[in-house]
Homo-oligomer: A and B are copies of this chain.
Amino acid sequence: MVCLAVDLLGGDHGSSPFLRGSILALEQNSQLQLILMADKASEAECQHILEKYQSRVSLSLAENVVKMEDSAVSALRKKADSTMAQAIRLHKDGKVDAVVSAGNTAVLVGFGIHILGLIDGVSRPAICTSIPTSSGKTWMLDIGAILQLSSDRLCELAALGSALCRSYDGKQLPKVGLLNVGSEESKGTDELKAASEVMAEAENYQFVGYVEGDQLFNGQQDLVICDGFSGNIAIKTAQGLSRFLKMELHQVLKSNFFTRAVVRLLKTTLKKFANRIDPSLYNGAPLLGLNGLVVKSHGSADEYGFAHAIVVAAEMAERGLVESISEEIFDRDLPESTLTRFLKKVNFKKQVS
């Protein structure tokens, strides 16, 4: 059995889609137990699921709720009694194997660090998400926890993310790329250049070099490392474009009686396409680097998306994701500053030539 604390509050559309999502996840994974985190106001809504899954679901009430507009600083000071903080507290106390929340990302990261702490050797947690690609999926890390990154931090992300690929996807030598504005060595910021020099020497993953935005979906890499700003821009641009194209296609296919009739014949086929690229199938982003397993759902996730985040969290808990990462990071030699190494190398090259 695997037991999760599910924060029902803090999303964009109240607790209803998350309750329905919880039921979907319980149906999908018979080994799953849930502790639902709610407040007094949403208690009544939970009765149905509590009765239906008496032995597998329980309720834990909190006094407070983290809002999307809360700053991390103020929430950390004033909302220790929130559903979000209480869920993470349950995990810290060993009562649950993981936490799922669709709440305010900055606050979730803040409570994560404050209550669970960081894996030894990690400087900050990062948010990892997956995107659909022609060969299945690719992980992207970081997609918004920290906006600007040093080269050391980029290398740390590669270590964290490649550990995820090994322990969760079973890929022993994952292919790792670095998001940049060009694939030539001369392209990008000094931080990216320094990080690429160090990543090229990694032994537990295969560095495939710089990856441009238009290569993200080609399935040639298991993991793409980026700073939180670019990662966020890339992911959200992809979401916006999917929505726009869907709307345009819909408009064109429904434009007259004839096309509407023909499209009806293609219903199953188009459904297959929609399922393949359905964003809810890619919902559920672990906060890597915490000394515990916290999975972030989109605030606006529907029941299917939220169910997917729960199922992902349960799988990651079952496969001992955090333990694997801890071991790897602990085993790693403490890295010399990447910039120092980069400069040394450049100097060395200069001396040779």
Chain B residues with Cβ under 8 A from A215's Cβ?
A: 240
Chain B residues with Cβ under 8 A from A212's Cβ?
A: 232, 236, 240
**A256-300 interface bits toward B, Cβ cutoff 8 Å, 1 = contact, 0 = none:** 000100110110011011001100000000000000000000000
Q: Known: A69-B184, A232-B213, A234-B213. Is A242-B241 also a contact (CB below 8 A)?
A: yes
Q: Kindly report which residue of chain B lies nearest to residue A217, judged by CB atoms.
A: B244
A143 to chain B, nearest CB (A): 9
Q: Does A71 sit within 8 A of B, measured CB to CB?
A: yes
Partner of A147, one of B189, B213, B217: B189
Q: Kindly report which residue of chain B lies nearest to residue A238, judged by CB atoms.
A: B241
Chain B residues with Cβ under 8 A from A76's Cβ?
A: none
A127 to chain B, nearest CB (A): 12
Q: Among the listed stretches A91-99, A245-253, A304-312, which one makes contact with chain B, having 4 or more residues with CB under 8 Å of it?
A: A245-253
A236 lies within 8 A of B214 (CB) = yes
Q: Kindly report which residue of chain B lies nearest to residue A253, judged by CB atoms.
A: B269
CA distance A240 to B221 in the complex (A): 14
B266 lies within 8 A of A259 (CB) = yes
Q: Kindly report which residue of chain B lies nearest to residue A255, judged by CB atoms.
A: B269
**A194-221 interface bits toward B, Cβ cutoff 8 Å, 1 = contact, 0 = none:** 0000000000000000001111111000
List 25 A–B pairs whose Cβ atoms lie within 8 Å, in order of A's numbering: A144-B181, A147-B189, A181-B232, A188-B229, A212-B236, A212-B240, A213-B233, A213-B240, A214-B237, A214-B239, A214-B243, A217-B240, A217-B244, A229-B230, A233-B233, A237-B237, A238-B238, A241-B241, A248-B276, A249-B273, A252-B270, A253-B266, A259-B266, A262-B266, A263-B266
Q: Known: A234-B234, A248-B273, A259-B266. Is A216-B240 also a contact (CB below 8 A)?
A: yes
B134 lies within 8 A of A181 (CB) = no
Partner of A228, one of B181, B240, B255: B181
Q: Known: A181-B144, A266-B262, A269-B259. Is A189-B240 also a contact (CB below 8 A)?
A: no
Tally of this chain's copies: 2
Partner of A134, one of B230, B239, B244: B244
Q: Known: A186-B71, A233-B233, A253-B269. Is A218-B240 also a contact (CB below 8 A)?
A: yes
Chain B residues with Cβ under 8 A from A147's Cβ?
A: 181, 188-189
A130 to chain B, nearest CB (A): 14
CA distance A232 to B58 in the complex (A): 48
Q: Kindly report which residue of chain B lies nearest to residue A131, judged by CB atoms.
A: B241
A53 to chain B, nearest CB (A): 35
Chain B residues with Cβ under 8 A from A277's Cβ?
A: 245, 248
A233 lies within 8 A of B181 (CB) = yes
Interface centre among A148, A233, A245, A263 (most CB of B within 10 A): A233
Chain B residues with Cβ under 8 A from A62's Cβ?
A: none
B238 lies within 8 A of A252 (CB) = no
Q: Does A115 sit within 8 A of B, measured CB to CB?
A: no
Chain B residues with Cβ under 8 A from A184's Cβ?
A: 69
Beyond known contacts A148-B189, A262-B265: 10 more, CB 8 A cutoff: A212-B236, A213-B232, A213-B240, A218-B240, A241-B241, A241-B242, A245-B245, A252-B270, A252-B272, A255-B269
